[in-house]
Structure 1
Amino acid sequence: MAAASSCIACNGTADEKEEKRKCELIGYEALPEWLKDNEFIHGYYRCEWPMKETILSIFSIHNETLNVWSHLIGFLLFLCLTIVTAMVIPRNGSSSRSSGSSTAYQLGDLVEMAKANMTVALRHEALAACFLLPPSAAAASAALSEDGQQIPTSCPPNTSSSHHHAIQIQGSTGNTAATMDAAGTGTTAADPITRWPLFAYLGGAMVCLLTSSACHLILCHSERTAYVTLRLDYAGIAALIATSFYPLAYYSFLCDRALQRLYMGSITAMGAAAVTASLVPAFQAPQLRPLRAALFSCMGASGALPIAHKLLLYGGTAPGAVASAGYEALMGALYALGVAVYAARVPERWAPGRFDLVGHSHQLFHLFVIAGAYAHYLAGVEYLKWRDVDKC
């Protein structure tokens, strides 16, 4: 690490820039006040680097490298989870393996479900032919599945002349998969349970992880940049906490809209208040670190009330309510441990300067956040299993 007396190594004259003088990493004592946050991390700081070099420093070694990459990788993980969830998890409870069991939501079902969806699509195409082709051609038409098996279209003899006749497409199990009328309108056996609360949570998690990664990467560029990115970082944390409540409140109280609106409205208001408080410049002061941790911890801890209420209502009758509460308890424990490490600034407090690059509290905090967010995703999957079977 180069020892520098100031943090303007990259902001010299034009001649110095033309010579491609390297940006230097400096020590804690050389930092301006707005960059001083953790006195137990002694070195490897970037300070007021040009934006280009600041962004490219994502590929170099400094005391923020792992902070940037941990949440960037976490963002990519949750992006993949969002895509897989949209592709694999069925949109209603019709694909459960048995009437008394919950729907299968394993990633290994992706290929099986893709084939099933292809078969349904071929059935619909064959059905459309019943209305577009002449009666003789429609009677002879048939679709072939991917494995070469014939798919019956069940076309009635008067299909081409009837505009209101309903046709039921039978699945391989004999259950009605869909009902199509002559106008092309489809209805399912049961209304699907909406997925938006789970996807809202996944969106909130991705916003939190991405804004955190961006903040740790470019906040050293200037005091103004630090101010803006830190505000975005706090807003991302509030978004993660608030959207974490949406699957909990929506699915737990699906049968009681008043309670559902009460809990969802309350956490949304708390999230907005947290973002507003984060806009106050004094909120970023290092001495207010415990207050920042306490604010967001209280937001998260408020989730204990709807969880307890859910268990009181369904704990003895709905295994899904208990399973989701277990994942939520794990999430809370991971978040609480992460916040405790963040506020206490361990282990660097015990050995100042030895954890500058690897192992300091903020890096550990990031890992706990990702683990807790994933535990809550698993809770969301349990909610879908539960409510796809036990609808109101």
Structure 2
Amino acid sequence: MASISISHSRKRAPPRPAVSERALRNTGYNKPWPGWPAGKDSSVNRISLLTWHELPTWQQDNEFILTGYRTASGSFSQSMRSLRHIHNETVNIYSHLFGGILFTILPFYVYSTVYPRYSNVQLADIVVFSTFFFGVAVCFFLSASFHTVANHSETVAALGNQLDYMGVVVLMWGSTIPSVYYGFYCDLELQKLYWSVVSVLAIACIATTLNPKFRHPRLRPYRAAMYSGLGLSAIVFIIHGLLLHGWELQNRRMSLSWMGLMGALNLIGAAAYAARVGF
């Protein structure tokens, strides 16, 4: 009887593996971390990638991205370690991280070349350009941070998502400051007026962004519309400047041709984001 029992136990099918173990076998990321002590829990020193259908509800944001998801880490260090592997957030993280580093370093190069080249550069020029560089760097770094820790937990992902959108608002606000400064170079009162208007709109956008209800995927078109509205508010002071000074002077002051191209690209990006157009 003992031999029969053993024979049957050998033929018995193995138990179905857990989702994380099944995902581990389907990826190339099941090796221990370099330098990780032997004998440690494999769930800590491995990275597993899941499909859309294996995710908890709070991680299901874009149903058109079907694979490459990291498991919920519950640990900031674990999420940071995933930077050493390829997953569906890798491009998001590194493209924004490199952008943030670039726009942190770039001002030092610009200032070192502008001061010797132009004798009429004033402190105000440095301040408004610094505001622009600051806005871009903050946007990139907040976005890189969010995409890095998005798999931490539902609470951290929600907060990171809000900070990601807040970074977009800071970028739009920072890019408007120098435009108003040069567009109304000789009119301090109009500068103050439009700076105040744009700042109030930006604060309103940030307040809305930090509302937890705003994060719901169904509100994606409204998020795009809100940010587009903040960006399009620039049309008001652009038209005002054109009425006061004409195209030739304002185009020289504000590079309106480039601003038009930037606005068009922003609208295309917002539309693609809202409609989830793939490229």
Specify the TM-score bucket, using the shorter chain as the normaliser: 0.7 to 0.9
Q: Which residue of 2 aligns with 1:39?
A: 63
How has the CA–CA distance of structure 1 residues 262 and 18 changed in structure 2, closer, same or farther, with 3 Å as cutoff?
A: same
Report deviation, 1:85: 1.4
Answer with 1 or 2: which has the greater Rg: 1
Greater RCO, CA 8 A, separation 6+: 1
For residue 221 of structure 1, give the secondary structure of its aligned residue in structure 2: coil
For residue 115 of structure 2, give the secondary structure of its aligned residue in structure 1: coil
How has the CA–CA distance of structure 1 residues 4 and 28 changed in structure 2, closer, same or farther, with 3 Å as cutoff?
A: farther
Distance in structure 2 (CA, Å) of the matches to 1:239 and 1:271: 7
Report deviation, 1:311: 2.5
The residue type equivalent to 1:277 in the other structure is: T
Q: Which residue of 2 aligns with 1:54?
A: 79
* Most deviating of 213-222 and 312-321: 312-321
Report deviation, 1:267: 0.7
TM-score normalised over the length of structure 1: 0.58
Does residue 260 (structure 1) correspond to residue 183 (structure 2)? The answer is no
Q: Which residue of 2 aligns with 1:70?
A: 95
Distance in structure 2 (CA, Å) of the matches to 1:54 and 1:271: 31
Q: Which residue of 1 aligns with 2:109?
A: 84
Match for residue 224 of structure 2 among 272, 279, 293: 293
The answer as to whether partners of 1:44 and 1:63 remain within 8 angstroms in 2 is yes
Distance in structure 1 (CA, Å) of the matches to 2:171 and 2:116: 24
Q: Describe the superposition over 1:226-264 as per-residue Cα deviations: whole angstroms up to 9, x where unpaired.
A: 122112112111100111110011221122222111110
Distance in structure 2 (CA, Å) of the matches to 1:34 and 1:341: 23
Does residue 337 (structure 1) correspond to residue 268 (structure 2)? The answer is yes
The residue type equivalent to 2:98 in the other structure is: I
Report deviation, 1:317: 5.1
The residue type equivalent to 1:260 in the other structure is: Q
The answer as to whether partners of 1:235 and 1:278 remain within 8 angstroms in 2 is yes
> After superposition, where does 1:339-378 map in structure 2 within 5 Å?
339-347=270-278
The answer as to whether partners of 1:28 and 1:39 remain within 8 angstroms in 2 is yes
Report deviation, 1:5: 3.7
Structure 1 unmatched ranges of 5 or more: 11-15, 96-189, 348-358, 360-392
Q: Which residue of 2 aligns with 1:215?
A: 146
For residue 185 of structure 2, give the secondary structure of its aligned residue in structure 1: coil
RMSD: 2.7
> After superposition, where does 1:167-316 map in structure 2 within 5 Å?
193-316=124-247
Instruction: Give the % identical residues.
Output: 35
The residue type equivalent to 2:260 in the other structure is: A
Report deviation, 1:27: 1.1
Match for residue 42 of structure 2 among 8, 17, 20: 20
The answer as to whether partners of 1:4 and 1:30 remain within 8 angstroms in 2 is no
Q: Describe the superposition over 1:200-237 as per-residue Cα deviations: whole angstroms up to 9, x where unpaired.
A: 01101100000001101111111121122112112111
The residue type equivalent to 2:65 in the other structure is: I
Distance in structure 1 (CA, Å) of the matches to 2:243 and 2:116: 28
Report deviation, 1:72: 1.1
Distance in structure 1 (CA, Å) of the matches to 2:18 and 2:198: 47
Report deviation, 1:19: 3.0
The answer as to whether partners of 1:311 and 1:321 remain within 8 angstroms in 2 is no
Structure 2 unmatched ranges of 5 or more: 1-16, 25-37
Structure with the higher fraction of residues in helix conformation:
2
Q: Describe the superposition over 1:68-110 as per-residue Cα deviations: whole angstroms up to 9, x where unpaired.
A: 1111121122123211112111289427xxxxxxxxxxxxxxx
